[in-house]
Amino acid sequence: MGKRKATPVANEAELQQSNAGERKAAKQPKLATEASGFKNKEKVLLLSSRGITHRSRHLMLDLAQLLPHCKRDSKLDTKTDRGIINEVADMKGCSSVLFFESRKRKDLYIWLARAPDGPSIKFHCANVHTMAELKLSGNHLKGSRPVLSFDASFDQQPHLQLMKEMFTQSFATPRRHPKSKPFHDHVISFHFLDNRIWLRNYQA
């Protein structure tokens, strides 16, 4: 009967150490990708009521192009309870809401709210100029991140400070968002004048 040769213990220890080293090397790229991944999950729900005019609809479409992190939904009936907006925002994973409400097909009101517990702000929209009406419009990339510019008045009064924070959370595209481009080629400005807030988009 032939005798079996025993495998050296030293070789087994070397194999185990090499396997452990390969596992550590394989885990390192995963940790690097996790550190540089997309973390800010801020999303904005964009929807409107029934009966909005074509100008209001074009304004909403322009905002959808400026906000790559927004989620659109179908129109709501004017008689529907407003509490259902929180349910829609919860289903789509949105933390902010931009709701376009039309009354008598003339007046347009824009609700900006944090879902589901608020706060909420109601604006009466006036002096609307859509992108289709402008001449010499820029050609910024779709999905590029904007630079937000605020007037100095937003730091002087408490309610304007709250508006500034809500505007920042809603209009600032999160960094490394899957639908965004890593470029800054347009500026969204907010100015407070004559008890009104003027919103403008400047393109490169």
Q: What is the pLDDT of residues 163-197, one digit of tens each?
A: 999 999 888 888 777 777 777 788 889 999 988 99
Mean pLDDT (the chain) is 78
Cα-Cα-Cα-Cα dihedral sign, residues 146, 149, 155, 159:
negative
Local structure of 3: helix, strand or coil: coil
Average pLDDT of 41-48?
A: 86
Q: Hey, what amino acid is at 77? A: D
- Note the pLDDT tens digit of each residue in 10-44: 455 454 555 555 554 444 444 333 444 556 678 88
Lowest-confidence region among 30-39, 80-89, 146-155? 30-39
CA distance 131 to 134: 5
CA distance 159 to 126: 21
Domain boundaries, the chain: 44-203
Average pLDDT of 98-115?
A: 87
pLDDT for res 40: 67
% of the chain residues with pLDDT over 90: 21
Asked if omega into 174 is within 30° of 0 (cis), the reply is: no
Its pTM stands at: 0.70
CA angle (124 as vertex; 139, 157 as ends), nearest 5: 90
Local structure of 196: helix, strand or coil: strand
Token representation of residue 148: 């937000």
pLDDT for res 77: 75
- Note the pLDDT tens digit of each residue in 60-83: 888 888 888 888 887 877 666 778
Contacts of 29 (CB under 8 A, 6+ apart): none
Residue 109 burial by Cβ neighbours in a 10 Å radius (0-12, 13-18, 19+): middle
Lowest-confidence region among 30-34, 124-128, 150-154, 199-203? 30-34
pLDDT for res 30: 44
Token representation of residue 74: 């179908």
Tell whether the model's pLDDT for residue 158 goes beyond 90.
yes
pLDDT for res 111: 92
- Backbone angle region of 171, left / alpha / beta, with phi > 0 → left and psi within -120 to 50 → alpha: alpha
Contacts of 19 (CB under 8 A, 6+ apart): none
Token representation of residue 142: 């779709």
CATH of domain 44-203: 3.40.50.10480
